[in-house]
Structure 1
């Protein structure tokens, strides 16, 4: 099954570790085989890793983009997920954490990333909460 990407002018994306930028017009690409691909909006820079959920997302993203170094990223992921789950009490957030962990252990990194992004909303609400 092919993946069709519709790209905005200048939009960047990563394919198997190579950063590619679209030209000055809207365009579409059709990916015919399995590759590790992330759009610019899903790529996190190290300086943006500033919350617990983002500390979970980042090593998953690196597992997805850098398969040769997965072992060290998996270790970092497990440490960060353990820390996060030890303080979270919300059943829905815990269920998401379990889902993310299962996807990571089954090498479904892209799906784990998309589920992890849902934790950002939960975390934002909790960090902004003032009694």
Structure 2
């Protein structure tokens, strides 16, 4: 069964499809008729904004979508980062969703993995910003360094 996905873009908006960057000159709708890896411009995370553990994981997965030739470099980094995050967080929603992200990445369903990670940002912000570390993050685990350059 073929999957279909309809995307609406504004004038001058970009979309990244299988590593290619497309910019539209006017408002347009695209219907993707088969499985492709894509990322909408407003979901692109800049390296300097990968400042929390989940945003760093997002950035790693994002590299797999935007630069398929770098996938072989990014995948081992993902495989190192994910267990560290699972061992760091104690919040059950985050842990469950990280395991789901792992499955999605193994299935090369990167868009869904990125969407799942984005959905955890508010929980992570609450853990890191509004509560003491022990509320959702173990005190003895190191923070991950920012990825990219």
**Quick check: 2:101–2:113 contact (8 Å CA) kept in 1?**
yes
Structure 2 unaligned spans of 5+: 133-149
What is the deviation of 1:109? 1.5
Correspondent of 2:14 among 12, 15, 27: 12
Distance 2:31 2:104 in 1: 25
Other-structure match for 2:77: 76
Is 1:60 aligned with 2:61? yes
Note the C-alpha offset of 1:31: 2.4
Structure 1: runs of 5+ lacking an equivalent: none
Tell me how far 1:110 sits from its aligned partner: 1.6
More helix by share: 1
Higher normalized contact order (CA 8 Å, seq sep 6+, divided by chain length): 2
Pairwise mapping of residues 46-125 of structure 1 onto structure 2 (< 5 A)?
46-125=47-126
Map Cα deviations across residues 60-106 of structure 1 (whole Å, 9 max, x no partner): 11122333332221111122222222221111111111111111122
Runs (4+) of structure 1 moved beyond 4 Å?
none
1-side partners of 2:107 and 2:5: how far apart?
Answer: 21
Alpha-carbon offset, residue 125 of structure 1: 1.1
TM-score relative to the length of structure 1: 0.86
SS at match of 2:35: coil
Counterparts of 1:85 and 1:47 in 2: how far apart (Å)? 23
Match in the other structure for 2:34: 33
SS in 2 for 1:89: coil
Find the aligned partners of 1:60 and 1:41 in 2 and give their Cα distance.
16
C-alpha separation in 2, matches of 1:101 and 1:6 = 28
Give the drift of 1:130. Answer: 4.6
| TM-score under structure 2 length normalisation | 0.77
Kept after mapping to 1: 8 A contact 2:19/2:65:
no
